[in-house]
Amino acid sequence: MSPISSISAAQRALDTEPQSIDAPLSAAAAFLVLIVKDDDASIAAARSVVASTDDLVKDVRIRTDGGVFTCNVGISHRAWGPLTGKPAPSELAPFKEVRGATHTAVSTAGDLLYHIRAESMGVIIEFERLLLEAFGNSVTAIDDVAGFRYFDGRDLLEFVDGTANPDGLDLPAATIVGDEDPEYAGGSYVVIQKYLHDMAAWRSQSVETQEAIIGRTKFSNSELPDATQGQKSHKTLCTIEDADGEHDILRDNMPFAVPGRGEYGTYFIGYSRHLWVIDKMLERMFIGDPPPLHDRILDFSKAVTGVTFFAPARKFLSNLAD
């Protein structure tokens, strides 16, 4: 490779460096969803803060004990044009409501997503405080959920979550946009949903019934055989295959709870190279395969939010300041 080619390749790598999509699972997380006010001054102020997010992350990280501390920023379809002044990534669209015979994946508002991960909730709170001070009156926070690690990576339904996540070289291949959309290479599509659990109803089910619904054993996390016909498990419905093979996504779900209000849930967040993969998962869950045999986990878990974002490469974000 010639020196010029080497320099070009290095510059390309810098320009397409992803955000911290592949950060390790953490003990704590926050999911902060913001609406940007529509006036020009607010849009300009929000753009400036988004562009400087990496600097704020560094300012806070240096005060930590060296543990995990990352932040990914996602921009919605509604906010993309005003904040970036550029055409949207090829698959970016508002979250599509999925209405099945029994359950609905609702579509809700959201312009910016801050997905913050750390080993300490104190670090996350400090970062959010500084971030919201920087935004000032340019945004309105419409959701702010604190997630926590539950025992050995289980959700509050007491099953291990994220077992099917890709790793190694399969991780960027499944989550990071490549040459199929070169202007947005290094980015990732992000879908969030907040699910509230009916814990009493779930716990009234036998372990065998719970395992059949999930598709894994509860205690050993062993995969159960796929159903050949009729009612499929959550695991099977969320497995997307076509002529090109199986299509993975990265889930970084976290449990959340407010026991004093009887609120227990799972915050779903999925990162994918192709938005259609998550769309297909939700269609299979809520409509069923075959219809109307929906994912039975939905009989105990209600989706109360649903928003789609695109998390562009780091350089794209920082260039918004120009």
User: Distance of CA 213 to CAs 99, 217, 228, Å?
Assistant: 20, 10, 14
Length of the chain: 322
For residue 172, the tally of other CB atoms under 10 A from its CB is: 17
The amino acid that residue 143 corresponds to is: D
Return the closest-CA partner of residue 318 out of 90, 57, 125, 124. Answer: 57
Please give the torsion angle defined by the CA atoms of residues 106, 127, 69 and 11, in that order, rounded to the nearest 10 degrees: 90
Quick check: 79 and 266 in contact, CB under 8 A? Answer: no
Q: CA–CA separation, 85 vs 65, rounded Å?
A: 38
Using DSSP, state whether 124 is helix, strand or coil. Answer: helix
> Which candidate in 161, 248, 252, 279 is catalytic?
161
| Known active-site residue 167 | no
Active site residues: 161
